[in-house]
Amino acid sequence: MSDGRELTGSYGTWRGQEWELWSHAPEDGTLTVVQDGGESPGADWEHLVYPNRFARTPDRFYKTVDAAEVSDVHNAHATARLGNAKVQILGENAEGRLGVQTLDHMSPAAIYAFATKWGLEPYDRDFAFAWVEPDQLTDLMFERA
């Protein structure tokens, strides 16, 4: 977030800077450091475009590095309550609104009713997501594991 709190994801320190990680678990002795948006961190970084990602830029730059070069590997979980449902905080936009997605298991009818009440977008009857004002959320929790 703009105030420095980590949103839901995996993180680690590589070459003195904290980066998001594709996964916190090394694969074949490597980890993949990630930068969403902005300019490429270097010519040797790969670039992917995800045109429809919610609460994140479509541009993702990544580089596979030796896992031994990455320290302080951890997961972060940012959650809150929106009304009676638990939501995961996925991102923050330039206006300070938070991108949230429901976490609680709800029936398709409950998802639709909840989404309608809060102005969220239902997704395939499994969850709902939207940008919300921070003051709509209660019980904000930022955990590091």
- pLDDT by residue (tens digit) across 28-82? 999 999 999 999 999 999 999 998 888 888 899 999 999 999 999 999 999 999 9
User: How wide is the angle at C-alpha 58 spanned by C-alphas 54 and 59, nearest 5°?
Assistant: 145
From first CA to last CA, the distance across the chain in angstroms is 18
Phi, psi for 9 (deg, rounded to 5):
165, -175
Contacts 24+ apart (CB under 8 A), 112-121: 114/83, 114/85, 117/83, 118/82, 118/83
For residues 109 and 117, the answer to whether their CB atoms sit within 8 Å is no
Other Cβ atoms less than 10 A from the Cβ of 72: the count is: 10
Confidence grade of residue 23 (pLDDT, cut at 50, 70, 90): very high
pLDDT, one tens digit per residue, over 75-119 is 999 999 998 889 999 999 989 999 999 887 888 888 888 888 888
